[in-house]
């Protein structure tokens, strides 16, 4: 839809309010609501002002004025609002220069897509996420708990799977908002679920991930539950990942299909090589919370080993089995849903493109069950970062591939490292936790 069409759509649907939304630095949606009378075609060019200094990791107070510029093609009706509300996802601009804001995550993802087109390797990057989440019971006062709502396991049915009605309601809400749902099921851990929607271009999929997470949380509340995408909320149970299926196309044709291992092309293999080479750095964006590394623990189910394999879910990079060239893709299993989709997708695309550009060989596939390998065998297999601090150190040392095409600027890299260290790494590192009291209070 263009600006005129989206306003006609709003009128046809009796829209009273317009909600302008954008994603902040860590990946949370921010918004401001306006009466429909305040929005006209000029709004889609001129934007609306807001205080950028109040957004985490963004502007200083002396240069706080910023613009939200709605992207007409993102419009949808929010089914949860009492008053009919049109949602528009925004790009952020500087009000003086009218240049896109370099720290706007959506702009970074848009630049990554443009960089792909400029290299002539392809014209479209598709991403298909599998974002897992937990449903927990609410306390009597409505506050969150870590008490799961059932004891279900992978693919369980009711009555063991007590989240089925909630899950189906999430699916219905998403379909009303234009999502094409592919599957929904109980996951491995008690109270853990997965709903998959169809892949799309990188920016569009990142838009959808932000919408998806909000819908899951809102529907959960209707069932007196709390939903969380925290990677590892429960000790000694499976954590939540966000496996990402990726492929590159050109002129409507898939470029990852070929006659190599797993039916992949040379381009796909080089893409895998780029992901593997920069995996520790990618963790700063794909696994950007201190809690991410409670999931990424060697010896458990989470994919920490940097190997690729056909069918093999113990490898960090899996090649799903399919005879359809259009379905040929690479699944990177390390990321988790605490990430900012725009930044995580952009970083992975840049790593993959670096692999293609420099013909990075990923080595031989590993078709064994990696979890069953001896310590000696595991010594030869590299792994992803073990802590957020390590990931940030790797990003500090290895980020030239992200700067290509001005996709990630030096300012963005420096600010991301600074923000994560100060707001998260240090905050957790210096704070005593309950287990430490149990271990050391009587020492």
Catalytic entry in 149, 318, 333, 399: 333
Q: Per the residue annotation, which of 106, 186, 226, 243 is the catalytic one? A: 243
Query: Is residue 333 flagged as an active site residue?
Result: yes
Strands 85-93 and 17-23: parallel
Q: Which of 200, 331, 354, 424 is catalytic?
A: 331
Is 130 catalytic? The answer is yes
Given the residues 38, 41, 51, 396, the one annotated as active site? 51
The CA distance from 302 to 109, in Å, is: 26
For residue 435, indicate whether it is catalytic.
no
CA R_g for the chain: 22
- Three-state secondary structure call for residue 85: strand
Residue with tokens 């896109």: 100
For helices 341-357 and 202-222, the axis angle rounded to 10 degrees is 150
313 is a catalytic site residue? yes
Instruction: Respond yes or no on whether the N-terminal peptide bond of residue 159 is cis (omega within 30° of 0).
Output: yes
**Do 337 and 240 form a contact (C-beta atoms < 8 A)?**
yes
SS3 305: strand
CA gap 392, 57 in Å, rounded: 16
Please pick, among 93, 104, 130, 200, the residue that the annotation labels catalytic. 130
Q: Are 298 and 382 in contact (CB under 8 A)?
A: no
Taking Cα atoms as reference points, which of 214, 183, 187 lies closest to residue 76?
A: 214
Catalytic residue among 113, 156, 164, 194: 194
Query: Does 243 participate in catalysis according to the annotation?
Result: yes
C-beta separation of 336 from 240 below 8 A: yes
**Chain centroid to CA 234: how far?**
21
Q: What is the secondary structure of 123-141 as a DSSP string? A: SEEEEEEEEEEEEEEEPTT
Is 422 an annotated catalytic residue?
A: no
SS3 content of the chain, % helix, strand, coil (to 5): 40, 20, 40
Contacts 24+ apart (CB under 8 A), 318-325: 319/261, 319/262, 319/263, 319/264, 320/245, 321/262, 322/263, 323/263, 325/254, 325/257
Catalytic annotation present for 132: yes
Catalytic residue selected from 187, 207, 389, 424: 187
CA neighbor of 315 nearest in space, from 329, 297, 302: 302
- Alpha-helix runs per DSSP H in 73-201: 105-119, 164-176
* Catalytic (active site) residue 51: yes
Distances from the Cα of 370 to the Cαs of 58, 232, 317, 330, 378, in angstroms?
Answer: 42, 22, 12, 18, 8
d(CA 347, CA 277): 13
User: How many CB atoms are located within 10 Å of the residue 8 CB?
Assistant: 12
* Active-site residue, from 217, 313, 361, 390: 313
The catalytic residue among 78, 104, 113, 132 is 132
**Active-site residue numbers?**
51, 130, 132, 187, 194, 243, 313, 331, 333
């Amino acid at each position: 839809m263009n600006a005129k069409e989206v306003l006609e759509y709003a009128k046809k649907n009796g829209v009273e309010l317009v909600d302008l939304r954008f994603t902040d630095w860590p990946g949370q949606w921010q918004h401001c609501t306006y009466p429909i009378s305040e929005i006209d075609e000029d709004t889609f060019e001129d934007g609306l002002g807001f205080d950028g200094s109040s957004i985490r990791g963004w502007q200083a107070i002396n240069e706080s004025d910023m613009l939200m510029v709605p992207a007409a093609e993102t419009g949808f009706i929010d089914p949860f609002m009492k008053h009919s509300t049109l949602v528009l996802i925004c790009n952020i601009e500087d009000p003086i220069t009218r240049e896109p804001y370099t720290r706007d995550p959506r702009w970074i993802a848009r630049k990554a897509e443009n960089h792909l087109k400029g290299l002539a390797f392809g014209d479209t990057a598709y991403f298909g996420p599998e974002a897992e989440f937990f449903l927990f019971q609410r306390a009597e006062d409505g506050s969150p708990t870590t008490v799961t709502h059932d004891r279900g396991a992978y693919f369980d049915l009711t009555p063991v799977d007590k989240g089925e009605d909630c899950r189906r309601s999430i699916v219905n809400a998403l379909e009303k908002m234009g999502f094409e749902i592919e599957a929904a099921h109980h996951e491995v851990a008690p109270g853990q679920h997965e709903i998959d929607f169809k892949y799309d271009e990188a920016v569009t999929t990142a838009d959808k991930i932000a919408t998806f997470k909000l819908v899951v949380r809102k529907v959960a509340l209707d069932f007196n539950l709390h939903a969380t995408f925290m990677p590892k909320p429960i000790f000694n149970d499976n954590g939540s990942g966000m496996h990402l299926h990726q492929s590159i196309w050109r002129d409507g044709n898939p470029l990852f299909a070929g006659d190599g291992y797993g039916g992949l092309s040379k381009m796909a293999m080089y893409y895998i090589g780029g992901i593997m080479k920069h995996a520790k750095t990618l963790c700063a964006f794909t696994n950007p919370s201190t809690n991410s590394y409670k999931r990424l623990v060697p010896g458990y189910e989470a994919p920490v080993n940097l190997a690729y394999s056909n069918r093999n879910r113990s490898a960090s990079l899996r090649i799903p089995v399919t005879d359809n060239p259009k379905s040929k893709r690479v699944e990177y299993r390390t990321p988790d849903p605490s990430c900012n989709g725009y930044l995580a997708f952009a970083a992975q695309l840049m790593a993959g493109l670096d692999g293609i550009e420099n013909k990075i060989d990923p080595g031989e596939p590993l078709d064994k069950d990696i979890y069953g390998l001896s310590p000696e065998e595991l010594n030869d297999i590299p792994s992803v970062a073990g802590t957020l601090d390590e990931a940030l150190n790797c990003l500090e040392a290895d980020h030239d591939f992200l700067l290509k095409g001005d996709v990630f600027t030096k300012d963005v890299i420096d600010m991301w490292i600074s923000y994560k260290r100060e707001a998260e790494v240090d905050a957790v590192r210096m704070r005593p936790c309950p287990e430490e009291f149990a271990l050391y209070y009587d020492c």
